């Protein structure tokens, strides 16, 4: 098991701060949780603790971007999307060069419960024009994604986990914006996974292979723009495509894949693995993953059931 992607983010942020003097960080009284505190300790003159006032923080970050800075704006994903109207106008419409960093994504945050579980953030932010939406699968990918984000032009949202995740990428990994990563090929079905579920999907595919199933696994680190080519490729190759995400099945990765599949002449049907349009609740992360079928066993069971 590797790092939580929020931990990898915090480490990468410090490295970027050393290399790029125009990187600034803003946080809304959650720097210990978002892991931006390490940046604040090393670069106090470029770290801005804004208090519990996310809307103001969004406006300040946009102003800094227009002044030539590269702001990383940090909070829980649920709290950021709670200020959707401010993001829409101040960052999105203005095309401010801001990176919104939403940690504590999905039911994987566990005990904190519904009020702090971001289960709608992908659905909200991918509707904004020219707004990049990204979710890394592991430590290596997070750090490479951060290096890319310094160069990216325009607003972007990066979604991170509280819990540790399975490492799926090798040390020679290279991040390519907007391109899915084939972790495993297969002919019976394909699982398109994002974030914490990428490792679980890969482990499920290995279990299924031992039972005679050939399952492809694709890591979708960029939700928007979605990799239409790889979706089109597998929609013509396999009878079933699965989306796997720690997010509401409506509007997130599954929604993006469904929209793409509706426009191509493929042969696949889509099965969405995720939170089935219900609110989150408190519980141990492993128990919540089991309840919602997001753990390795749950994904394995869903794939086998759909292929019978």
Three-state secondary structure of 23-51: EEEEECCCHHHHCCHHHHHHCHHHEEECC
Buried b or exposed e, range 85-119, using 16+ CB within 10 angstroms: ebbbebbbeebbbbbbbbbbbbbbbbeeeeebbbb
- Given the residues 15, 37, 54, 281, the one annotated as active site: 54
Place of tokens 């289960």: 119
Classify residue 243 as exposed, middle or buried by CB count within 10 Å of its CB (0-12, 13-18, 19+): buried
What values do phi and psi take at 56, rounded to 5? -65, -40
Active site residue 54: yes
For the chain, the first-to-last Cα distance in angstroms comes to 31
3-state secondary structure of 276: coil
Distance CA 119, CA 103 (A): 12
DSSP letter for 130, please.
T
Which positions are catalytic? 54
């Amino acid at each position: 098991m590797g790092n939580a992607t929020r931990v990898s983010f915090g480490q990468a942020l410090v490295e970027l701060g050393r290399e790029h003097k125009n990187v600034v960080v803003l946080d809304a009284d959650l720097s210990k949780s978002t892991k931006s505190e390490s940046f604040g300790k090393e670069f106090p003159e470029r770290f801005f603790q804004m208090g519990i006032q996310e809307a103001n923080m969004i406006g300040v970050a946009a102003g800094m971007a227009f002044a030539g800075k590269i702001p990383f704006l940090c909070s829980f994903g649920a709290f950021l999307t709670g200020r959707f109207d401010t993001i829409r106008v101040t960052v999105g419409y203005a095309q401010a060069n801001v990176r919104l960093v939403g940690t504590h994504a999905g039911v994987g945050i566990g005990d904190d419960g519904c009020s702090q579980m971001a289960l709608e953030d992908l659905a909200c932010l991918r509707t904004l024009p020219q707004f990049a939406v990204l979710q890394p699968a592991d430590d290596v990918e997070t750090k490479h994604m951060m290096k890319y984000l310094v160069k990216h032009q325009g607003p972007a949202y990066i979604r991170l986990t509280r819990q540790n995740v399975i490492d799926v990428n090798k040390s020679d990994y290279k991040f390519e914006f907007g391109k899915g990563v084939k972790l495993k090929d297969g002919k019976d079905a394909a699982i398109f996974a994002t974030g914490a579920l990428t490792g679980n999907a890969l482990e499920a595919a290995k279990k299924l292979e031992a039972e005679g199933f050939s399952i492809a696994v694709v890591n979708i680190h960029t939700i928007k723009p979605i990799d239409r080519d790889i979706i089109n490729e597998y929609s013509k190759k396999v009878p079933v495509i699965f989306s796997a995400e720690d997010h509401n099945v409506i509007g997130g990765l599954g929604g993006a894949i469904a929209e793409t599949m509706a426009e191509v002449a493929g042969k696949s049907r889509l099965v969405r693995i995720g939170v089935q349009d219900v609110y989150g609740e408190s519980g141990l992360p492993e128990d919540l993953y089991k309840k919602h079928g997001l753990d390795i066993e749950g994904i394995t069971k869903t794939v086998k059931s759909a292929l019978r």
